[in-house]
């Protein structure tokens, strides 16, 4: 039963990941610009969902095969750590959004409100539904407090150094705080620390390889997400 859940979760991740490239392409624009509605060849894109391919057959956006593989592995690892508990359904719904946000932020250093705000609302709402089901392993009240505490913490960092942290990171922290808080304050601390550690290592690697300076801005959202993912895996496994 356990490996069946892992396999189904991986298949879900691969299927959901197939929709990410088109969304990432459409959303990867600078602040104030309209979402892209045409492919690189100039053809109108019919909607938000579907493969990232022009009518003439050319692919656009990030590589579909790689995105599907990454999303599938992420979902399978979540299933392996969580097991068949109710909160797994929440993790599987949110994981593709995390992959999408990572791609967009790396491309344009922006976390669109159209993604971060629904995540901030959906994460505690879905966890509230999971909390009423039997055999869940988390705490909804701590999830709510985690969202507030992490969001407030990042907002304070934004006020102190707005050039070093975007307001999109603050809004993303609300949803991730709920996810991490589900498994307790230790998971919140672990996931937050991991995010800063990964961002620091990435920045250091850029400086050492002379691809950036200490003043170069880097997208923090992907590392905030990666740290939260690592904390979530540890919290789920230990629960």
Tokens 């629904």 belong to 118
| Beta bridge partners of residue 44, listed in sequence order | 38
State CA 114 to chain mean position distance: 13
The tally of CA atoms less than 13 A away on the side-chain side of residue 89 is 12
Per-residue pLDDT at 81: 96
Token readout for 85 is: 């508990």
Using one digit for the tens of pLDDT, what is the confidence trace for 151-195? Answer: 999 999 999 988 778 899 999 999 999 999 999 999 999 999 999
Q: How confident is the model at residue 16 (pLDDT cuts 50, 70, 90)?
A: very high
CA atoms within 13 A on the CB side of 78: 30
Q: How much is the pLDDT for 57? A: 67
Indicate the average pLDDT of the chain: 93
Query: What is the rounded average pLDDT of the residues 211-239?
Result: 91
pLDDT at residue 127 in the model = 97
User: What radius of gyration, in Å, describes the C-alpha atoms of the chain?
Assistant: 18
Query: What pLDDT sits at residue 111?
Result: 96
CA distance 191 to 227: 5
Rounded Cα distance between 110 and 164, Å, is 13
DSSP 3-state of 44: strand
Intra-chain end-to-end CA distance of the chain, in Å: 19
Reported residue count of the chain is: 239
Quote the percentage of the chain above a pLDDT of 90. 76
- Indicate whether 1 pLDDT > 70: no
**What residue has token string 């993604």?**
115
Mean pLDDT, residues 211-220 taken together: 80
Q: What share of the chain is helix, strand, coil (3-state, %, to 5)?
A: 70, 0, 30
214, exposed or middle or buried, with CB in 10 Å at 0-12, 13-18, 19+? Answer: exposed
Residue 53 pairs in a beta bridge with 59
Helix/strand/coil for 69: helix
* Residues 115/137, Cβ–Cβ less than 8 Å: no
pLDDT band at residue 47 under the 50/70/90 scheme? confident
């Amino acid at each position: 039963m356990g490996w069946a859940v892992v396999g189904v979760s991986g298949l879900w991740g691969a299927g959901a990941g197939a929709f990410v490239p088109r969304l990432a392409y459409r959303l990867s624009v600078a602040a104030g610009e309209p979402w892209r509605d045409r492919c690189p060849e100039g053809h109108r894109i019919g909607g938000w969902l579907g493969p990232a391919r022009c009518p003439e057959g050319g692919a656009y956006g990030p590589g579909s095969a790689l995105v599907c593989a990454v999303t599938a592995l992420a979902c399978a690892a979540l299933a392996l750590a969580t097991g068949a508990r109710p909160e797994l359904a929440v993790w599987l719904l949110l994981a593709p959004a995390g992959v999408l946000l990572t791609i967009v932020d790396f491309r344009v250093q922006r976390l669109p409100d159209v993604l971060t705000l629904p995540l901030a609302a959906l994460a505690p709402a879905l966890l509230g539904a999971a909390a009423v089901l039997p055999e869940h392993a988390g705490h909804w009240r701590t999830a709510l407090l985690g969202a507030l505490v992490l969001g407030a913490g990042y907002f304070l960092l934004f006020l102190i150094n707005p050039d070093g942290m975007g307001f999109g990171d603050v809004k993303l922290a609300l949803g991730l705080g709920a996810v991490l808080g589900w498994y307790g304050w230790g998971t919140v601390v672990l996931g937050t620390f991991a995010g800063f550690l990964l961002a620091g290592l990435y920045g250091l690697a850029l400086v050492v390889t002379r691809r950036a300076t200490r003043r170069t801005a880097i997208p923090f959202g992907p590392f905030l997400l990666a740290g939260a993912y690592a904390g979530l895996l540890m919290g789920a496994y230990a629960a």
